[in-house]
Structure 1
Amino acid sequence: MLERLNEAMAHIERHLGQRIEVAELARIALTSEYHFRRMFSALAGMPLSEYVRRRRLTVAAAEVTAGERTLLDIAVRHGYGSTEAFTRAFRALHGVGPGEARRTGAALRSQQRLSFRLVVEGSGSMRYRVVEKPEFRLVGRRARVPLVHQGMNPAIVEFIRGIPKETVARIAALSDQEPAGIVNVSDKVADDRAEGSELDYWHGVVTGADAPADLDSTTVPAGTWAVFETAGEFPAAVQELWRDVFTQWFPSNAYRSRPGPEISRNRLSADGTQVDAELWIPVERAAA
């Protein structure tokens, strides 16, 4: 898998001045577009689109300072339709415009070319199981919130605090299957999973029951789920589990992620500092 990812990285380098199709990168990596985006963002720590933008502007910066081409030529070579669009993007990354960079020799930022390699660390193992789950419903309260990669998500905290206790109790009573009890669900996440992009967040239950009219509900088709367990400090343990699933488990197992709600069941200690958690990720068998 890592060898194929590195071939995809080489394809990006060869086509920085052209439109880069995620479908082609996924074909090279022998996986789906959805899983390629998820794997890349987990391994690289940034969305694929952001990496491509930074690489283009890094290469463009070298041409700007060399002074051998006009700024318009450089803009067009790297996929920008005008010097104005190029200048805005250049300034956003480097902190100065290309004209000023050429005149003054200002310090610029560089996005190094990424390559992936396997690093073996320790002898720990991940606890997981694979579950074939029939169709079910998510029932509870839903909100559209921004994505936060690290630390508490203030929008989610405020949303949960705003749900009356009696409503939470009614929701919890509908739970009749795994994962049991109140769960936290992320769904309809933006493809690039950029910080600040939006997702549907659910505070609800997994159930086969019909939803009361005053609660949100959606039907989830039957499918395969990989279920992971962890325990530790909250929320770091849960966020680290998300990272480890995509950086360690998927590259070592014959599965890939597929579109669908990602479900987290957290059981907090009395003081809210420790957690026992399960993470349910929708998966499918990877192509041989």
Structure 2
Amino acid sequence: MDWVRTINDAIEYMEQNLTNEVTLADIAKSVNLSAFHFQRAFTLLTGMTPAEYLRKRRLSQAGSELAKGSEKVIDIALKYGYDSPESFTKAFTRFQGVSPAQAKKGEPIQFMSRYTVRITIEGGSIMEYKIEKWESMDLLVHAKDFNAETSEKEIPAFWNEYFANKEYSKVPSYLGVCAQNKTNGNVFKYGIGCKASDVKGVPEGFEIIHVPEYDWAIFKCVGPSPDAIQAMWERIYKEWLPVAEYELIPDVDLENYLPGDPASQDYVSEICIPVKKKN
């Protein structure tokens, strides 16, 4: 998959639908990705979520049209998907720093232009990774379904809840497991746990996720957790995927938290993603 072209195609779809109601699932479907996969790729490559991009572009366009002075606020509000002038005014003022009425009178406004994603060559830092073939395996996890649009805040809370409830006393908690293809739409499954072979039986509140045999790209992350993991995810999408001879398989990916002090500058963790060679 050409990630740069895919994200640019998604941006084109969003630009064509600034005045229409579109969901994350709609945008992802337009480029043949799962909602989860698209949300993560878009956010890592652009620095904002698809929802943020749409909101800022709509409010930018709305500002430009209001600045011309001929359109009514209520007409612009409805055009860009707001139910009332009040909700539009609140969002517009938060983004622009001035009210719609002030924009109509000529107050300066902000404008965020359309994004275009490109590959850039930077630095010379090395990404340490390896490709390994793993046999099929079962993972034992305490899992929950998450919405792709809200998971960024909800998953850290899920980890806090896991430790607060002392679930770690039942099962080692060295894996963060994201099962992208187990559910449809905007929802995916995320679990905390270990290999099923590490524990006898399935404790209450846990379940088995089966993972087929795959080739895996394993990326070494060095530094405090979760910052090092998050930084490596960004590098994978920005630096590795656009030029690698491999592409992602949209199934289960893993974050492997190795023994050690997670707050240490030399703490080592891993990101493991199933891959296949590009055709």
Structure 1: distance between partners of 2:121 and 2:77: 42
Question: CA offset at residue 157 of structure 1?
Answer: 4.8
Structure 2: distance between partners of 1:47 and 1:191: 17
Amino acid at match of 1:163: K
Please say if 1:222 is aligned against 2:222. no
Structure 2: distance between partners of 1:52 and 1:223: 38
Q: 1:138 to 1:13 in 2, by over 3 A?
A: same
Q: 1:119 to 1:236 in 2, by over 3 A?
A: same
Equivalent residues in 2 for 1:43-62 (5 A)?
A: 43-62=45-64
Please say if 1:205 is aligned against 2:184. no
Q: 1:270 to 1:56 in 2, by over 3 A?
A: closer
Please say if 1:121 is aligned against 2:122. yes
> Runs of 5+ in structure 2 lacking a partner?
none
Tell me the equivalent position of 1:171: 171
Structure 1: distance between partners of 2:140 and 2:209: 6
Is the partner of 1:280 in helix, strand or coil?
Answer: strand
Is the partner of 2:20 in helix, strand or coil?
Answer: coil
- TM-score after normalising by structure 1: 0.72
Structure 1: distance between partners of 2:227 and 2:189: 20
Structure 2: distance between partners of 1:213 and 1:125: 38
Q: 1:255 to 1:80 in 2, by over 3 A?
A: same
Tell me the equivalent position of 1:138: 140
Q: 1:272 to 1:112 in 2, by over 3 A?
A: same
The worse-fitting range, judged by mean Cα deviation, of 11-20 and 54-63 is 11-20
Please say if 1:280 is aligned against 2:269. no
The worse-fitting range, judged by mean Cα deviation, of 225-234 and 69-78 is 225-234
Question: CA offset at residue 43 of structure 1?
Answer: 0.4
Tell me the equivalent position of 1:74: 76
Please say if 1:256 is aligned against 2:248. yes
Contact 1:55 1:111 in 2 (8 A): yes
Question: CA offset at residue 70 of structure 1?
Answer: 1.3
RMSD over aligned Cα atoms: 3.9
Is the partner of 1:237 in helix, strand or coil?
Answer: helix
Structure 2: distance between partners of 1:271 and 1:6: 37
Question: CA offset at residue 86 of structure 1?
Answer: 2.6
Please say if 1:32 is aligned against 2:29. no
Structure 1: distance between partners of 2:23 and 2:277: 23
Contact 1:230 1:278 in 2 (8 A): yes
Is the partner of 2:257 in helix, strand or coil?
Answer: strand
Contact 2:131 2:218 in 1 (8 A): yes
- TM-score after normalising by structure 2: 0.74
Question: CA offset at residue 278 of structure 1?
Answer: 1.3
Is the partner of 2:259 in helix, strand or coil?
Answer: strand
Structure 2: distance between partners of 1:79 and 1:159: 38
> Runs of 5+ in structure 1 lacking a partner?
173-180
Q: Percent identity between the aligned chains?
A: 23
Question: CA offset at residue 66 of structure 1?
Answer: 1.6
Q: 1:284 to 1:192 in 2, by over 3 A?
A: farther
Q: 1:55 to 1:285 in 2, by over 3 A?
A: farther
Question: CA offset at residue 58 of structure 1?
Answer: 0.7
Contact 1:22 1:33 in 2 (8 A): no
Question: CA offset at residue 155 of structure 1?
Answer: 6.4
Amino acid at match of 2:201: A
Structure 1: distance between partners of 2:262 and 2:14: 49
Q: 1:241 aligns with which of 211, 232, 236?
A: 232
Amino acid at match of 2:254: E
Amino acid at match of 1:52: L
Q: 1:183 to 1:22 in 2, by over 3 A?
A: closer
Question: CA offset at residue 244 of structure 1?
Answer: 1.2
Amino acid at match of 1:206: K
